[in-house]
Structure 1
Amino acid sequence: MRWNLLVLFTLVLSAKAWDDGDLEVFDVVEEVNQNFYELLGVTQDASPSEIKSAFKKLTLKLHPDKNDAPDADVQFRNLVSVHNILKDPGKREKYNEVLKNGLPNWRSAIYYYRHVRKMGLAEGSIILFIIITFGQYAVGWAAYAEKRFTAEQILNSRGKKHSKKSGFDQGLSEILDQLPKPSVKDTLPFQIPRFAWWLVTAIPRGIIELRRRLQEQKEEAKRQKKREEEERLRADREAAAAAEAKAAGVRKRRAWVPPARDGCLLDPADEPDGGPVFVPVKQPAPPVITGGLWTDDDLAELVRLVKKYPGGTAERWERIAEAMCRSVPEVTHMAAKLKDNCYKIPGQEAEQPVVVEPPKKVKTRKAEETSSGNWSQTQQKALETALAKYPKGGAGDRWQKIANAVPGKTKEECMQRCKYLSDMVRKQKQKEEEEAQQNADGDVTEQDNE
């Protein structure tokens, strides 16, 4: 890359070494295509006055008004251009150098510069486009050849025997086969239309995608706002519930307080001024009621406290007993009795009458046995063996195979017998589960009573 830049910079400098006078001389020489001195009819070392005199004579002869030749205009224009070059000492000297050394050929940068500076914008763009296309195609093939050459060098450096053992050469050959080769479709004449088509089709897709993302952002903003609103409402509800619970406080049973007396002879006399200060004694806590009667209000209070302190609360029965001013055993005993008797708070709605469903007809064992026939021990054992031998999902008619293995029984009888046995096993399991549940409930009740 650096060498390419260096060559390009050298060509530019060499082109800049030629000035406008040199370019004008080259253009006239190429256009006239004849020796200037021979055209004027003078020698190469003629003086300026001789050149001027010869120019005047030829002007009278080659002027378009006096010259009937078809290219009279071209001849007269060439004459004027030659006279302009030779009358200027500097340009005449450059022309003499051209006569001596000739015009710059294609190896010189000025050769291309002279031809390019005469081109128009459209012509130059087309030529540049063609050059870039060929250069792009050549660079693509060069890159492809370089990759293949690098792969071959790596393969040769590892050794053929080692590569065959490890399978490296086979993998490398597959990679080289899959390596895309340069194509004409990868050059500018094909890339520009594809890019234009992609741009035209991508704009609508981009607009649709932009709208979709904006819609998603709006929906996300709505969801976020809704979540914030729900959080605020929940916080308000929690704050209101906390304030309500704080205002209600813990309801406690009032202890009996004796009425105040006006006076008594047994009361101590008032101390005179300056005497000792009487310090009131703290009243003891109300005594715990044990063995007292339970009124409806007490039972309703117990139900309320049991709901307030659910199972799992730390020191549940101690708190309930302290709130009701009763002992813990008495409170737990009464709670167990309420649970067993399904106590209802006065004023609570009565229970809905239980609708007794009519008994359903159940097939008895006798009917089942009658429908499926009598089974001997040998037939039962053959049925069990056939069921194990022909499981579900096998090929063919499973029940027909089982019936063939059981002597004296049809396919329908085998199916009914299997269904009957499955129902018996299921009912036995249900009965065992109900008994286990009843035993567990009895243990829980005994623990609550304790």
Structure 2
Amino acid sequence: MRQAALFRVLLLLAGFLAFAAAWTKEDHEIFRLREEIIATEGVNVTFYDFLGVKPSASHVEITKAFRRKSKQLHPDKAKRSFIASRAKPPRTSSGKKKDGVHVSKRPSDREIQKVVKHATERYARLGIVHDVLKGPGRERYDHFLNNGFPIWKGSGYYYSRFRPGLGTVLIGLFLAFGGAAHYLALILSWKRQVEFVDRYIRHARRAAWGDELGIQGIGNLSNYNDNASTTAAAENGEEHVVLNRKQKRMMEKENRKESKKAKKEGSSGTATPTNVVTSVGDRKRVVAENGKVLIVDAIGNVFLEEETEDGEKEEFFLDINEIHRPTMRDTFAYETSTVALPQACR
């Protein structure tokens, strides 16, 4: 239930982010108008260039420029100018009129309609540009003008992003799988190993002394309350338990110190023989589920007993704190780079 609720919250947040990142209607109008001006006026023509003002122009200057430009681009004036241009005699390359009789030919209605249509579209774009630069859309246009315009890609406007080459893709895959993925796998393996050793230790202590603390006498204290004749023995047992607890704390402190020294020297793993941690008091042998022989002493230390090829038995102290926690230095990407980079720099 908690995972489902968390999933809904994440989905809702993703929806809000998508809504916040979407372009508004005014943004789409600016994008469309810009593309039309680029197609008709030129690639590097901005709204300010089309209107004939500077980007720092005031509202008054924009209004004056619009009135002046609208007179030039009015469809009626464009129509008259087109008809008059066809009535003029042709000129030579030097700019002089050709000799002879010039017969003016009026343009066809289709040609006139085409010119008027083009002029009407330019005039309409001029009005929209004026509205954008004079209204609140100017701030949005200046933002896109300074930071770049998105590009139309199939179903919407998107910013054109860096397209990596083959080498960049291979490096990215190497870092992703040889670095992050390998580190995650090492962490999961380390956790499983810690859980496995911890389960071994708990099982051995419970099988040896009847308690996961692994201290001799704690699990059998209740047996001394059966009759009054064992009261003195129970008191002696309590003193022995207190002493064992004190010994256990001292031994754990020594173990932590030795484990820190071992990490600095580069030693790691659970099957590392040590001469510091030795068994204390009575010892019991326990057979684990996989057939391994475990030895538990009076204060709960667990040792793994193994036989060498020569027939000698060795004991290895089991401690989850001795298990090396992996770092990024243990990943394949780091180890490979530390070997390859020095050779490449030679």
Structures share fold, TM-score greater than 0.5: no
Q: TM-score range by the shorter chain?
A: under 0.3
Which entry has the higher C-alpha Rg, 1 or 2?
Answer: 1
Higher relative contact order (CA 8 A, sep 6+): 2
Name whichever structure is richer in strand by fraction.
2
Q: Please, what TM-score do these two structures have when normalized by structure 1?
A: 0.22
